[in-house]
Amino acid sequence: MKSSNNLNFLDRIRRDLKVFVERGIITNIQEDSILEYYGVTKDILDKGNSYSRLIIILSTLGAALVGLGVVLLIAANWNTIPSIVKIIMSVLSVITSNIIGYWLTYKTIYKRIGSSIFFLAAFLFSGSVFLIGQMYHIRSDNFDILLWILLGVFPVAYIINSKALFRLSMAIVLFWPGWKLTTLITDDGPQFIFSFYVLFGAFIYLMGFLHSKTSNFKIFTNTLIFVGSAVILAVSYILTMDGIWNEWGTITNYLPNIIPIIFLTFTVLVIQSSKYYFNNFEFSPKLLFIESFVLLYLVLLSWFLFFTAKITDEYILFFILVVFNLIFLGLSLTITYIGITLKRYSLVNLGLFAAILFIFTKYFDLFIGMIDTGLFFAITGMLLLLGGVTFERVRRRLLDRFDLNEG
């Protein structure tokens, strides 16, 4: 018992010190000194973090496999089980998993195992929703089921502060709105979905910074910022392809389609404006200006895409492609800069990866005619090796210069 109390004490010390550093109360050097006083050196922390990640990976994978096995076992005998028993089994499996997860997380030292059991409960809940849906003849490809899963999993992620459940919920959040909106749109062009996701990515990004100002949900900040930035870059990258602009249609039914665009535009502008008005966001004026400029561009881009029809003129198409290629490269570097300034390692990686992806895809587009020659593969291989070395050097230099934490 004494050992477990010591582990809990040291874990609490580490978490509190991390918060103090983020708030500027102490420096990184002071944090290391305090930890060293308690006998916790950097080597021990690195090993502890490695073991911690391994425990999370193994336990989450184990929970997913157990959940998959249970769902498949029940599904195989689904027709022979009475309806009332099906419902009772589904409900009890979810309740039991949550109780075990709660006990492990809050009553023992096995907090990470407990988080994985919560993940198992979410897995069982998702499977139960699909299986019970079959009882009422709801097709398995009816993606409205995802909304019911989201309503059951998302609140739990906030209640227990589970990153795994939150990321699972974010996957549904990204997929379901786009699918639902495309089913509601009949004959309109695909540009609406791009118009929506440009603003949706900006909205998720800003929600990350709102979460960073809370004490209970701060752990979701990195996920939201990363996902929002990734969505923005993904849409921007697609817009650099010439084929997509030839698929545009003409939006004829403006009223239902424009409602989510208006809502997201208003929300993005209000949240970003609040940073200036209330002055409660710890950004430098330079970063705040850059961020506001990018978000304003995304708002204008969304409306431009919404009202743009198919482009057939070669000169106009060429001009648009040049502009959007340059913009994508600029966005990649901007996200890298924001990651450096905010000391968010994941954003630095995302921005650099997007920039390198852009360079190599344009390289392949340029030399596609040489693809059947050995010279092409030799040059490409050397460039890949050189790019990998350069990328790692740049990444390491940025991490060392700005004291970024790879964790």
Confidence of residue 195 (pLDDT cuts 50, 70, 90): confident
Domain boundary among 176, 197, 232: 176
Residue 42 resides in a domain? no
Shared-domain flag, residues 149 and 193: no
Shared-domain flag, residues 296 and 350: yes
pTM over 0.85: no
The secondary structure element, H or E, covering residue 253 is none
DSSP 239: T
One DSSP character per residue, 129-189 reads HHHHHHHTT--TT-THHHHHHHHHHHHHHHHHT-HHHHHHHHHHHHHHHHHHHHHH--S--
| Domain enclosing residue 135, as ranges | 59-176
Shared-domain flag, residues 203 and 306: yes
Tens of pLDDT along 99-142? 888 787 777 767 777 777 777 788 778 777 777 777 776 665 56
One DSSP character per residue, 281-317 reads S---HHHHHHHHHHHHHHHHHHHHHHH------HHHH
Residue 22 resides in a domain? no
Does the pLDDT at position 306 exceed 70? Answer: yes
Does the pLDDT at position 321 exceed 60? Answer: yes
Shared-domain flag, residues 310 and 354: yes
Shared-domain flag, residues 286 and 379: yes
Shared-domain flag, residues 382 and 403: yes
Number of domains in the chain: 2
Shared-domain flag, residues 136 and 209: no
Domain boundary among 120, 141, 176: 176
